Amino acid sequence: MCRASFMNPKIPTGFVQAQVRARIADLEFTFLHPEGWVLKELPAEDTDFTNPTAYLPLTICTPTDLPLVFAVAARPAFDDGTVSEWLSWVVREQGFGEPEIERDDIGPHPAVGCFAEQNQTEIAMGMRLAMLEDGGRIVTVSVLAPQVAFGEVAAAFSVMLHSFRLARPRGAKAALAPEGKELPPTKFPIPEIEEEPVAEKEPEKPSASRPAPASAAAPKTAAPQPAPAPAPQEAPPADASALAIADDAGTLDPEHPMNVRMRDAGAGLTPRVLATFPEQKCLRVGAGAIVATFVVPFGWHVMDDGRRTLVYDAGGKIQINMARLRRDGRTDADLLEAIRAEAMAQPGVEYVRFQAGGLECLALRGIMDRGTRLEQCYLLKPAPGDSVVKVRVTATPDDISRAIDLSEVLLRDMFLPE
């Protein structure tokens, strides 16, 4: 028999509610997540809580094709100190430097939060971490995304984080901050979430992989919530087959020898294949670095290291490097002028500015790289929020036309979630 059990947030359009059974210490909870996200199945595991940095994951929720993560974890509270001191210590122990701890209540639960920043790895990720204490239990709620895209998903992340509710709260025992210390208010956007009684229902099955590493850099601005991941397009570009250099999708197999070598060298990972179109000799992939999906003809390799997405051929004659940048007030002309000015520092380089397919472009000739003459073309594709996808096409003079044709296929069908 259903009964009203506790107050839950009213579900906004585009979101659904997840209810997660307790894995430890009666920590059952609910939260909202965008439609299309899934709860990953968590393996059974023993956690050594004598290690002060050890936390047991309670849930991990992600979309199917983009590197965005919502995670909840818990451990017993410490014998002394305050919640802000615990969070600061954990962040420092994980190598993120000295955080700025803010007051950031999570729904009805008093809590603190911070952004973390990590520059030791090639993969730049943004993270918001919140911590609360309830009845001797520490709970952390975190969200993770590529740094360049964090601002664009911050609004949806905020709904997920601030909609978190414990099913059976016991009340806080620890202070948020030392006596006499006032925490600054949160810089993370706080959504207006209307409360309403919700009938108790059967919890969703918890699910997942382990939490993503806590690597991070703070977002600068908030932006609209992301749309659910698009379904693969049924009719990819008819001319994609003309640029295919193989008859199958083997080059996008993560265990392809070249992909293994690149992965082992730390160059990145093969992105997820979302759909394959054998008749058109192409497939659709989801790229985390630029938070987009696009079509790739058969035979081309794709690597993604979190900073940039690289499309290239096995012989290394053509490379297309795509990265997502914040404009920070800069126009297309400003961005291309900065590229041109840097390139012109090399003797003998010539340039041409033009438009192709409605995109602003810059072509460079006479670039010398280890004795090889190369040509480059830069294209700028507008992206949601204050961002742009910068595309750098590099090839020999004999291959540059074909390389530009390939870039047009990649960009024409590119989907960038709002």
pLDDT surpasses 90 at 315: no
Position 236 scores a pLDDT of 54
Residues 11 and 133 in one domain: yes
Same-domain check for residues 272 and 172: no
Please check whether residue 26 lies inside any domain of the structure: yes
- List the domain range (segments joined by +) for residue 354: 238-412
Cα distances (angstroms) measured from residue 100 to each of 85, 112, 144, 281, 336: 11, 10, 18, 51, 36
- Residue 26 reports pLDDT greater than 70: yes
> 84-88, 154-158, 398-402: which has the minimum mean pLDDT?
154-158
> Do 69 and 184 fall within a single domain?
yes
Residue 125 is predicted with a pLDDT of: 76
Q: Lowest-pLDDT range, 70-79, 228-237, 326-335? A: 228-237
How far is residue 271's CA from residue 286's CA, in Å, rounded to a whole number? Answer: 6
Please report which confidence band the pLDDT of residue 310 belongs to, taking 50, 70 and 90 as the band edges.
very high
Last residue of a domain, one of 199, 216, 246: 199
Mean pLDDT, the chain, rounded, equals: 82
Residue 207, domain member (yes or no): no
3-state secondary structure 201-226: CCCECCCCCCCCCCCCCCCCCCCCCC
Least confident of 75-79, 143-147, 192-196, 269-273: 192-196
Structural domain contains residue 287? yes
Residues 126-135 have pLDDT tens digits of 889 999 999 9
Question: pLDDT > 90: what percent of the chain?
Answer: 43
- Comparing 286 with 87, the larger pLDDT belongs to 87
Whether 130 is covered by a domain: the verdict is yes
Sign of the CA dihedral running 203, 58, 71, 170: positive
What pTM, to 2 d.p., does this model score?
0.52
Asked, for residue 271, whether it belongs to a domain, the answer is yes
| Total count of domains within the chain | 2
The pLDDT, as a whole number, for residue 96 is: 79
CB 308, CB 267: distance < 8 Å:
no
Residue 366 has φ and ψ, to the nearest 5°, of 85, 20
CA contacts within 13 A on the Cβ side of 51: 9
Same domain as 284, residue 144: no
Beta strands in 63-105 (DSSP E): 69-76, 102-103
Instruction: Output the pLDDT for position 3.
Output: 34
